[in-house]
Amino acid sequence: MEKNKTAKYFKYAIGEIVLVMIGILLALQVNNWNTARIQNKESRELAKRLLLENNQNKVLLKYEIDRQNEGLNALLRFLKMTGKDYKEKSIEETDSLLYMVISSPRYMLKTSVIEEAISTGNLAIIKSDSLRNLIYELPSIVSEVKDNIKYIDDHDNFYLYNRLYNFVSLREIDGKFSPYVDKLGRSNFANVDNRIILNDMQFESLIDNKYFLISTLLNHYMVTQTKLDKISNMLSEEIKRK
C-alpha cells in the first residue's frame, strides 16, 4: 500500500511540476507578447514623429533649392553684364541682381527627433535595417550641408561684402527691394549708380567663385533630397506594417 501511495504522490508531483512549467511558459509568452506589443506601438509612434520631421525638411529643402537656383541664375546674369560697357546696362537690373547675390543660403533642416532617437538608442526599435542605416547617415549629410553654407558665409563676409562696401550703396539696394523699404528709404547721396561695380574685375571673380560655391551646395542639397525621399517612403511603409 505504501508503494501505491508513493506512486500516486510521484505522479501528482510530476503533474504539479508540469502545470507550473506550463504556467511559467504561458506567463513568458504573455510577457513576450505584451513586450512586443509595446515595442510595436513605440516603434510606430517614433516612425510617425520621424516621418513628420522628415516631410517638414522636404518642404524646407525644396524651397531652399528653388531659392538657390534663382541665385545661380542671378550670378550668371551678373557675369554677362560685367565689363567696360557697364553704363549700357540697366541700373534697376543691376540693383536687383545685387540684392539677390548678397543673400546667403540658410540652414533650415530639423534633426531634433533623429538626434533624440539616436542618442537615446530608441532608433534600434525600428525593425528595418536599411531604414535605420539611412537615418543614421542623415546627420553626417546635414553636417556637410552646414559646412558648405559656412564656406559661402565666410566668402561673403570676408570678401564679397567688403568689396561691395567700397563701390555700391547698399541702402539704395535695400531701399528698393528689401522688406524694410518704408523704414530705410533710398540713399541720401545724389546720382547713386551701382553699375560701377560691373567694371571691377575683383567683383567679377568673387561672383564667379560664389557661383561654384552655390553649385557645390546645390549638389549636397540634391543628395539630401534623395535621402529624405527614401526615408519618407520607407517610414510610410514601416507605419503601414505595424
234 pLDDT band (50/70/90 cuts)?
A: very high
Q: What is the rounded average pLDDT for all residues in the chain?
A: 87
Residue 204's pLDDT is 96
- In this model, does residue 211 exceed pLDDT 80? yes
**Contact between 131 and 235 (Cβ < 8 Å):** yes
pTM as predicted: 0.81
Residue 155's pLDDT is 96
Question: What pLDDT, in 10s, does the model give residues 79-135?
Answer: 999 998 989 999 999 999 999 998 888 878 888 999 999 999 888 888 889 999 999
Q: What b/e sequence results for 197-233 when a residue is b if at least 16 CB atoms lie within 10 Å of its CB, and e otherwise?
A: bbebeebbebbeebbebbeebbebbeebbebbeebbe
What number is the average pLDDT over the span 65-80?
A: 94
- Per the listing, cell 551646395 goes with 217
Residue 1's pLDDT is 46
What number is the average pLDDT over the span 142-163?
A: 94
Print the SS3 string covering 180-226: CHHHHCCCCCCCCCHHHHHHCHHHHHHHHHHHHHHHHHHHHHHHHHH
Element (H, E) at 26: helix 2-81
Higher pLDDT, 1 or 86: 86
Question: What pLDDT, in 10s, does the model give residues 177-207?
Answer: 988 888 888 889 888 999 999 999 999 999 9
Angle at 47 between CA 43 and CA 52, to 5 degrees: 155
35 pLDDT band (50/70/90 cuts)?
A: low
